């Protein structure tokens, strides 16, 4: 899926952030958004619901954060770097929590194994973007 990259490149507004890193984070969030909604639903249908309760809660929250993050990253006009920063940090935290919990059930529930992978990938993509953002700010300071 490179549509998100094409969309970013078609924007009339320039960005300091590398477009590949932003597109990668958007795509990773969209994947997690879906995997978390689906994993929470599957968890509720498993025989061991009690053992899965925490997984449901984390997946439901992660799906919501992974809905806001790609929206925030897709917008450049009137974007506020502080908002982007805090949204990315919330996304890294919630994806990491969710991945850790899903990993605990990965051996016996395939939906958890798949969702854990998607959440890990999303946390990494958002962390990479936070680093790119910090680097862009350093470059600005060095140029000033």
Q: CA 58 to CA 102: how far, in whole Å?
A: 9
- Residues 6 or more apart whose Cβ sits within 8 Å of residue 111: 35, 38, 39, 42, 43
- CA quadruple 32, 37, 43, 49: dihedral sign: positive
Q: Which residue matches tokens 């300091």? A: 16
Which C-beta is closer to a copy of itself: that of 106 or that of 128? 106
Q: Which stretch binds a copy of itself (CB under 8 A): 60-68, 126-134, 136-144?
A: 60-68
Beta carbon of residue 103, minimum distance to a copy of itself (angstroms, whole number): 15
Beta carbon of residue 139, minimum distance to a copy of itself (angstroms, whole number): 23
Quick check: 13 binds a copy of itself (CB under 8 A)? yes
Q: Residue 113 to residues 45, 106, 124: CA-CA distances in angstroms?
A: 16, 4, 17
The residue within the footprint of a copy of itself, chosen from 24, 25, 102, 111 (CB under 8 A), is: 111
The 10 Å Cβ neighbour count of residue 28 is 26
Quick check: 50 binds a copy of itself (CB under 8 A)? yes
Helix, strand, or coil here: 26? helix
Q: CA 126 to CA 51: how far, in whole Å?
A: 29
Quick check: 93 binds a copy of itself (CB under 8 A)? yes
| Chain residues in the site for a copy of itself (CB under 8 A) | 1, 3-4, 6-8, 10-13, 26, 30-31, 33-35, 37-42, 44-46, 49-50, 53-54, 56-58, 60-61, 63-65, 67-68, 70-72, 74-80, 82-83, 86-87, 89-90, 93-94, 97, 109-111, 114-115, 118
């Amino acid at each position: 899926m490179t549509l998100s990259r094409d969309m970013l490149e078609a924007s009339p507004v320039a960005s300091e952030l590398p477009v590949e890193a932003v597109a990668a984070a958007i795509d990773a969030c969209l994947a997690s958004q879906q995997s978390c909604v689906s994993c929470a639903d599957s968890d509720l249908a498993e025989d061991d619901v009690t053992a899965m309760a925490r997984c449901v809660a984390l997946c439901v929250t992660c799906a919501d954060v992974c809905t806001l993050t790609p929206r925030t990253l897709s917008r450049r006009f009137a974007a506020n770097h502080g908002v982007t920063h805090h949204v990315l940090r919330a996304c890294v935290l919630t994806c990491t929590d969710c991945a850790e919990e899903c990993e605990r059930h990965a051996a016996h529930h395939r939906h958890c194994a798949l969702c854990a992978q998607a959440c890990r990938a999303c946390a990494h993509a958002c962390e990479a973007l936070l680093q790119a953002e910090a680097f862009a700010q350093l470059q600005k300071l060095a140029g000033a």
